[in-house]
Structure 1
Amino acid sequence: MSASSSTVVPPPMMIDWTELPLELTSLILLRLGAVEILENAQKVCTQWRSISKDPSIWRKIDMRDLGNRKKGDLDFGILCRHAVDRSQGGLLEINFGAFATDELITYVAERSRNLTSLGLGRFFKCVTKAGFMKAIEKLPFLETFELAHSGIILDLKAVGHACPRLKTLKINSLGLLAYIFSINSDDDDYALGIAEAMPQLRHLQLIGDRITANGLKAILDGCPHLEHLDLRKCFNINLAGNLEKQYLGGDQSA
């Protein structure tokens, strides 16, 4: 071979996905979202479809990871119900993303009484306060609740009583400030509900809330186990004196 001859590159190694060990295949499926498993992965072969029906695959359902799909491409309500059914009551964590409805939340709550984590986001007319509260009352073991950019104002006192084990609460109200200003006359509604009914909280996030210094003090007094507090974009709080010390952890008796 002459010095000017090009180097021969061997062809890339081809992987036969159907011959992978069952344990490795399960790990691969666990890294995929519910939509990807139901729409693609389970169609690879008989073995993958069989593994995709294992309830252990469905202890966590995340409907947020939708790739480039648009809302009109698939019926996410039907897909979510399929995923919940496959969990056979073993579902522990679910995040609906933007596709929650009263009916869908109720469907999950009635079949997943051991649920520990619930995430909702970017819904407006599809979820009502009454519908949500009816469902949340069926989830006494809930430890984490996340709500982002919703169109409803919740009764957090009632949520706390329904979910006495709640340790993490994240509420992002950004993008809906005008809406909240128009219907919520009491700046500290959320804060007082949290302070009164969520004594086990460790992590609290209230982004864009209308909480005031009084509400913050109520939370610090009512949630003695609080480890992390995120109050970004909460512009009604003016820290001063003992409240600032208590917020910074320097004076727990304030």
Structure 2
Amino acid sequence: MASSPSTPVMKEDGECRNWSELPYELMASILSRLDTFDILENAQKVCTSWHRVCKDPAMWRKIDFRYFGDKKYNLEIMCRHAVDLSQGGLLEIDISCFGTDSLLNYIADRSSNLRSLELALISVTTEGLAEAIGKLPSLEELKITEFAMWGGYLKVVGQSCPKLKTLNLNCIRIGFDPPFYVSDDDALAIAETMHGLRFLQLFSNGLTDAGLKAILDNCPDLEHLDLNHCFNVNFSGDLEKRCSERIKVLVRPGSPRIFDFSIFEDSVTLDSDHDL
């Protein structure tokens, strides 16, 4: 049986040590390695000293419920509590499996220093994203998963987040068929408003060579470009040469990729005969 924090633990030299009497910094370092759920539901309830550490705002700079799928817990309520514990110090958060407009705006209202945000446009709407993103001027990394071709919001993102360096825009469709649409709207919005990008991932996007050219022309710091499943891109003219000269990591449209749909199974019904 594992020892409780109040139970003396034998060290190699034969000396006993009480877990609850570990130095605060060491205890915080150990507990910070737990995931968000374990801290909220387990660690902070063990003893007074652990509870004190778990209430420290420094423990809540990153919140991630991504792979937790137990339906008996209300993750939105738990997430709000974690955001409150951060006391404005939150830097990274992933709400891709359960986020809503109200939760996203709750986070934005209390986390103006947020640097990394990951979400899915399922329960979160483009309107909700547009409203919240204006409150996050320090955002450097944004990861968005779409299950439909929403469009129209990227320009707002770029205008609201001048420090943005990483954008992952993934349109997930059943069967990984080539895009059923051709559109450079996303690419042009990126080119117009996101000049500081270093990492760009556009999975199953409808951009063409014209959109790619606009991105290369207007994002001079771009080093990593992922165009997986962007089958309207043909690298015509000098685009092949420009990419080889400028882009350190280039993922081409036909590169293999496996996406784990299971993390969204409670939010969207996937039907192989229906395009989302």
Normalised by the shorter chain, which TM-score bucket? 0.7 to 0.9
Q: Does 1:229 align with 2:225?
A: yes
Confirm or deny: 8 A CA contact 2:182 2:208 kept in the other structure. no
Report sequence identity in percent: 50
Letter in 2 for 1:141: S
Work out which of the two has the higher radius of gyration on C-alpha atoms and give 1 or 2. Answer: 1
Confirm or deny: 8 A CA contact 1:116 1:142 kept in the other structure. yes
Distance 1:99 1:16, change over 3 A: farther
Query: If the length of structure 1 is used for normalisation, what is the TM-score?
Result: 0.84
Q: Deviations over 1:76-130 (max 9, x none)?
A: 0110000000111111111113110000000000001111111113x52x21111
Q: Which residue of 1 aligns with 2:85?
A: 86
Q: Does 1:136 align with 2:133?
A: yes
Bigger helix share = 1
Confirm or deny: 8 A CA contact 1:113 1:140 kept in the other structure. yes
Confirm or deny: 8 A CA contact 1:116 1:141 kept in the other structure. yes
Q: Which residue of 2 aligns with 1:213?
A: 209
Over the residues paired in the alignment, what is the CA RMSD in angstroms?
Answer: 2.3
How many pairs align? 232
Secondary structure of the corresponding residue to residue 209 of structure 1? coil
Gaps of at least 5 residues in structure 2 are: 1-9, 248-276
- Report the Cα offset of residue 186 of structure 1: 5.0
Q: Which residue of 2 aligns with 1:107?
A: 106
Q: Which residue of 1 aligns with 2:60?
A: 58
Query: If the length of structure 2 is used for normalisation, what is the TM-score?
Result: 0.78
CA distance in 2, matches of 1:109, 1:89: 10
Distance 1:224 1:38, change over 3 A: same
Confirm or deny: 8 A CA contact 1:34 1:61 kept in the other structure. yes
Confirm or deny: 8 A CA contact 2:147 2:173 kept in the other structure. no
Residue in structure 2 matching 1:191, options 178, 187, 192:
187
- Report the Cα offset of residue 250 of structure 1: 6.2
Which aligned pairs between 1:1-254 and structure 2 lie closer than 5 A?
Answer: 16-66=18-68, 69-70=69-70, 72-121=71-120, 123-124=121-122, 126-151=123-148, 153-154=150-151, 155-175=153-173, 181=180, 186-249=182-245
- Report the Cα offset of residue 148 of structure 1: 2.1
Confirm or deny: 8 A CA contact 1:128 1:152 kept in the other structure. no
- Report the Cα offset of residue 162 of structure 1: 0.8
CA distance in 2, matches of 1:18, 1:63: 27
CA distance in 2, matches of 1:57, 1:115: 15
Distance 1:65 1:220, change over 3 A: same
CA distance in 1, matches of 2:225, 2:74: 37
CA distance in 2, matches of 1:35, 1:74: 10
